[in-house]
Amino acid sequence: MARMYNWLLGGKDNYAADRHASRLLLQLAPSFGELVRSNKLFVRRAVRLLAEQHGVRQFLDHGAGLPAQDNVHQVVQRVDRDARVIYIDKDPMVLAHGRAVLEENDETAVVQADVTDTDRIFGHAEVQRLIDFRRPVAALFVSVLHCLPDQVDPIGMVRRVAQRLAPGSFVVVCQLSSEDAQVRSIITDFMRGSVGEWGRVRTRREVAACFDGMDVLDPGLVDVSSWRPEEGEAPPAPHVCHEYGGVGMIR
């Protein structure tokens, strides 16, 4: 999945099979490339807001994917060079490329782990070195929950991470969502056939459950292309499937 997203974002770290699967996906859902790009812009807006307006200096990026232009550490370290970022992914290619990009950045690390293994992540030596859990942390779950099957309880995973974070921390979540059962089924079946183990497209209500007990920042939970868009960004086009989510603050 990380390599498919890389190709859809115009990257070169992918194989022929990834490109083939991505082209088939675009035939099925022509707006998918636009969804990936708007999601990238959402991440940039969200983490910059948390760094600039809420003073967050620590970020845990779950399911980070392959490095691309304006990665989380680049956005937040423009605000504060000492801001710290942990990228978490189990894909060996993500690990290799991420470490090559970050080898000269002492405030950033890539951890190879399953995003659902919260104990391993929180106990990892690099996480312990860089993150002070007594202070606010932003935990990112961007375009990763739909990759996780219900058996691993992805919504519960977000809540478990949130419970470990200090008050004043934040959770950033978005995942593929549709209110049309047929659309959910078609895209879910395609992705499972293309990448093997995958989760599913979920409803807005299911995504909203990630934020139970949190204070959700304005404008609430939305199609992320309409989450605080900046001047010059195109308004969201109507789609039957979109990335739905937002940013919640832990009390």
Is the pLDDT at 156 greater than 90? The verdict is yes
Tell me the mean pLDDT in the region 155-165: 96
Number of domains in the chain: 1
Place of tokens 């995942």: 175
Please report the DSSP string for 14-59 in residue order.
--HHHHHHHHHHHHH-TTHHHHHHHHHHHHHHHHHHHHHHH---EE
Is the pLDDT at 135 greater than 60? The verdict is yes
pLDDT, position 58: 98
Is the pLDDT at 234 greater than 80? The verdict is no
Stretch among 35-44, 80-89, 228-237 having the lowest mean pLDDT: 228-237
In angstroms, the CA 91 to CA 96 distance is 9
Is the pLDDT at 87 greater than 70? The verdict is yes
pTM of the model: 0.89
Is the pLDDT at 103 greater than 70? The verdict is no
pLDDT class of 15 with cuts at 50, 70, 90:
confident
Is the pLDDT at 37 greater than 60? The verdict is yes
Reduce the DSSP state of residue 216 to 3 states and report it: strand
Q: Residue 33 belongs to what domain range?
A: 2-249
Omega cis (within 30) before 219: yes
Q: What is the CATH number of the domain that holds 197?
A: 3.40.50.150
- Counts for the chain of helices (H) and strands (E), in that order: 10, 8
Question: What is the residue-averaged pLDDT of the chain?
Answer: 88
pLDDT, position 104: 67
Is the pLDDT at 102 greater than 90? The verdict is no
Is the pLDDT at 192 greater than 70? The verdict is yes
Q: Which residues of 50-80 are buried (b: 16+ CB within 10 A; e: fewer)?
A: bbeebebbbbbbbbbbbbbeebbbbbbbebe
Tell me the mean pLDDT in the region 190-216: 92
pLDDT, position 219: 97
